[in-house]
C-alpha cells in the first residue's frame, strides 16, 4: 500500500516511518531504471525548486539541478550573496515568499535551526540538503547504494569511521529505519549527539538494528558489509583541522581496516574526499569502492523525495 507524502518536508530521516523510508528508496530505484532505459518521464513539468545555498556544493547543486531539468522542471540557485537567511530579511519571510513562487525549497545551510524555521513557515515542502546536524539526502543515497550492491538492507552491518558528525547522525537514523546494524568507530570526544543516538535506538528497537558507538576500530569493522567515512574537518571547522587530523588518524579507512571487514565489503564516502587523510587513495580507487555509484545515486534519491513530496 502506497503512503502519501505529498506536502511533507524532509528535514530528518527520523521523521519518516519505515514504510515511508522504503517507499522513497523504491521510487529512487524506479527512477534510476527509467533513466537507464532512456524513458520519457516528466513529473516536474511546469514546477520549480528553489535551492538555498549557504555553503558551496558540487554534488548537491548539480544533482538537484540536473534532476529537476531531466524530469521536466526547473531549479533556481540562490547562493550566499542572493539570499541572506535571517540577515537581509527574516527566514520566515523568505519561506513565505518562496512558497508563492515554487513547488519546493531545498536548503543547504550551516545551522539546522534555519532548515527547521524554513519548514515551519513555508507552505511548500522543504528538503534538508545539509545542515550542521543532519544530512538526510546523503544517507538515502548511501542506503540505496548498499541495497543495490547487496540485494537487501535488513541484517547487514555498516561501519562508520571517524567523526560522529551530521552524516553519522543521519546514518544512525537511516540504519535504524532500514534494519542495518551500525558501528560508529570514533575517537574519544567525537561521539554522536546523545539525543540523536537515543532517538535512533528507539527506532532500532522496532527493526532489530544494533547501533554501537565504540573507540575500537577493529571491533567496528569486524564482519562489516560496508565501510564508510567522511572528512575529518567540515566547512566551519578549519581552525580545528590539525587537532582533528591527529585524533582521527587511527580511524583512517585504509587497506588494513578494509581487510578486517568481510571480503566482499564495499567502501562508501559521501565526498569530497581528502585522500591520504580519512581514506587512502588505494582504497577509494580500489575494486571495493562504490563511491562514485553512491554519488550518482544522490540524484535518484533526491528526485525520489521530490516525486513523493511534490506529488
* Active site amino acids: 108, 135, 138, 230, 270, 298
Secondary structure (3-state) at 265: coil
Cell numbers placing 113: 535551526
- Tell me how far apart the alpha carbons of residues 87 and 43 are, in angstroms, rounded to a whole number: 35
E-strand ranges in the chain read 48-53, 74-78, 104-108, 126-130, 157-161, 181-185, 211-214, 226-229, 266-269
Query: What does the DSSP 8-state code read for residue 280?
Result: -
Contact 103, 111 (CB under 8 A): no
Secondary structure (3-state) at 8: coil
CA dihedral of residues 171, 176, 178, 183 (deg, nearest 10): 60
186-207 exposure pattern, b = at least 16 Cβ within 10 A, e = fewer? bbeebbbbeebbebbeebbeeb
Secondary structure (3-state) at 179: coil
Contact 62, 295 (CB under 8 A): no
CA dihedral of residues 25, 28, 29, 35 (deg, nearest 10): 180
- Tell me how far apart the alpha carbons of residues 97 and 94 are, in angstroms, rounded to a whole number: 5
Cell numbers placing 217: 576500530
CA dihedral of residues 6, 12, 14, 20 (deg, nearest 10): 30
Amino acid at each position: 500500500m502506497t503512503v502519501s507524502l505529498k506536502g511533507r518536508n524532509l528535514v530528518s530521516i527520523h521523521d519518516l516511518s519505515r514504510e515511508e523510508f522504503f517507499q522513497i528508496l523504491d521510487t529512487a530505484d524506479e527512477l534510476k531504471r527509467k533513466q537507464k532505459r532512456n524513458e520519457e518521464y516528466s513529473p516536474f513539468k511546469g514546477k520549480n525548486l528553489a535551492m538555498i545555498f549557504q555553503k558551496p556544493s558540487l554534488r548537491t547543486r548539480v544533482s538537484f539541478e540536473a534532476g529537476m531539468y531531466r524530469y521536466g522542471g526547473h531549479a533556481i540557485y540562490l547562493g550566499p550573496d542572493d539570499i541572506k537567511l535571517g540577515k537581509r530579511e527574516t527566514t520566515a519571510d523568505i519561506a513565505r515568499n518562496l512558497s508563492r513562487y515554487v513547488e519546493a525549497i531545498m536548503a543547504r545551510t550551516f545551522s539546522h535551526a534555519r532548515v527547521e524555521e524554513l519548514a515551519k513557515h513555508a507552505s511548500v515542502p522543504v528538503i534538508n540538503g545539509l545542515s550542521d546536524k543532519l544530512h538526510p539526502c546523503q544517507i538515502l543515497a548511501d542506503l540505496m547504494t548498499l541495497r543495490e550492491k547487496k540485494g537487501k538492507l535488513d541484517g547487514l552491518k555498516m561501519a562508520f569511521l571517524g567523526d560522529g558528525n551530521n552524516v553519522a547522525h543521519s546514518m544512525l537514523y537511516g540504519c535504524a529505519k532500514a534494519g542495518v546494524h551500525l558501528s560508529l568507530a570514533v575517537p574519544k570526544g567525537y561521539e554522536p549527539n546523545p539525543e540523536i543516538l537515543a532517538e535512533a535506538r528507539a527506532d532500532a528497537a522496532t527493526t532489530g538494528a544494533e547501533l554501537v558507538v565504540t573507540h575500537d576500530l577493529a571491533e567496528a569493522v569486524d564482519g562489516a558489509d560496508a565501510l564508510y567515512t567522511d572528512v575529518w574537518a567540515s566547512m566551519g571547522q578549519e581552525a580545528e583541522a590539525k587537532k582533528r587530523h591527529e585524533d582521527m588518524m587511527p580511524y583512517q579507512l585504509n587497506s588494513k581496516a578494509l581487510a578486517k571487514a568481510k571480503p566482499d565489503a564495499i567502501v562508501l564516502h559521501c565526498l569530497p574526499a581528502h585522500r591520504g587523510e580519512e581514506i587512502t587513495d588505494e582504497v577509494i580507487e580500489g575494486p571495493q569502492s562504490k563511491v562514485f555509484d553512491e554519488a550518482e545515486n544522490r540524484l535518484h534519491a533526491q528526485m525520489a523525495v521530490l516525486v513523493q513530496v511534490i506529488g
